Amino acid sequence: MTEQPKIDDLCRAVRDAVDAAYKRGFEAGGEAMRRRIMQAATGGIFEAKSPIMPPKLRSASARAPRGAVGQFLETALTERPGSSIAELEDMAKINAPEISVKSVGNELRRMEDERYRRDRPNGYKWFLIGGDAEKETVEGSSPPTSTASSTSQDNGDAAA
């Protein structure tokens, strides 16, 4: 029984010490906050030093030339037909650093069924429409179905 009051006394002492530490931290934070507010109010908003730097904006001269994404994709899909968007973005980082990697996926989706097509049903592999890339896909794994062939089959089924 003599040990029980000692443990309770220790717990109370630890609790009191933690409460005192929280109180000191709260007071110190309040003082720092008031000091920063007063500094900003007396020195002006734009003169206050901020530890966070604003993000750097990309200048117009840093953009890739018009059509560079399309040229890159044509070259990349000719050399490596059936590449995924992630693979093409990685190639763009290395071979065409002036191109934003997100522009690669945007161009593929924007020009889908006009210049590029996906392997169906998964849709992860991309190919050029026409040209040597289609010949290579026939030799490789399962070729993606064309929209023209699927519409002609649909029309045949509807007529029958």
CB atoms within 10 A of CB 24: 10
Q: Which residue has the tokens 């000692």?
A: 6
- Tell me the domain boundaries of the chain: 13-48, 64-144
Residue 5 pLDDT > 70, yes or no? no
Q: Which residue has the tokens 């604003």?
A: 54
In DSSP terms, 83 is beta-bridged to 126
pLDDT of residue 30: 85
pLDDT for 130-152, tens place per residue? 855 444 444 444 444 444 444 44
Burial of 80 (0-12, 13-18, 19+ CB in 10 A): middle
3-state helix, strand, coil in the chain (%, to 5): 60, 5, 35
The pair of three-digit structure tokens given for residue 126, joined into one six-digit string: 């991309």
What end-to-end distance do the CA atoms of the chain give, in Å? 95
Query: Is it true that domain 64-144 has CATH number 1.10.10.10?
Result: yes
pLDDT for 54-109, tens place per residue? 555 555 557 778 888 999 999 999 999 988 999 999 988 888 888 888 899 899 99
Burial of 129 (0-12, 13-18, 19+ CB in 10 A): middle
pLDDT for 24-46, tens place per residue? 888 888 888 888 888 777 765 55
* Beta carbons of 142 and 116 less than 8 angstroms apart: no
* Beta carbons of 126 and 83 less than 8 angstroms apart: yes
